[in-house]
Structure 1
């Protein structure tokens, strides 16, 4: 039986879903902070401390391949669905095709998140001290895992996908803020 009671008003159901989303966001932020802390504590620096931003960016570039895997998976899921369903093969958007709607929504959100993460990680690679650049592959792998969590939760509703969304969105925003702060600190010094 679902946790949704038959006597719930639409407002009560909305509030319950909001609480589920808030719990997913809190869990994602906590897990993301834990991943970052573990990475800081356990991941050795692959770049010599005297290296510059170009070496850090060069070390990150191969990691853009796994960063793109969730996006490629989203494209493949939409293409696969269209190929095997008569109402969707012509590129249409059949209104009753929930599976296609979920695949397209995942793809759109993953496109947005991948672009944001790619910009954030490149900016961070250029801004961090070289010995901290070892964190970036960990962040990429966390992004991929979080996108998988988002995809698995997507058909189950907002609360079920909140963790995966937040675990990709908030680390990217944090990376952008850190990179911007470091840029401004260098510009003002």
Structure 2
């Protein structure tokens, strides 16, 4: 059911529990027993989309760069993967429609520190960066949990800036700032 709800979001279809339950061939009460309320369903569907997008970005790196920690331009694997992840999310017409049609709900579901999306996204980023640390790519100035919390929050600020601050999302600025956050500013002591 989570994958079906994710497909509805991708297609730009509003996930109405009555219509969704009917499409699944079950009653609303059965839907509620299986996945919880609408926000639970949407949160899990958004996490599924996030997880799938991050996995695709990792596969893209592996196809192009193999096990390398840095690409030919010197960019860390984790930063390149995060950049592609944000780019794909920003380009998703269905995801953007959800943000446009239900901005308050979308932001609450995506950024709730106790919700179904943000804590899992932070955990996925910790694993992504841990791999670069373990493979010798870099040594972060702060612990991975704190660093990834900052990375995800900063990424959200740019990715959802049109909804949060009436600003056009600037993913290039996000990548530059996240690169400085992760690798430090050249010439400055750590």
Q: TM-score, normalised by structure 1?
A: 0.34
Higher relative contact order (CA 8 A, sep 6+): 1
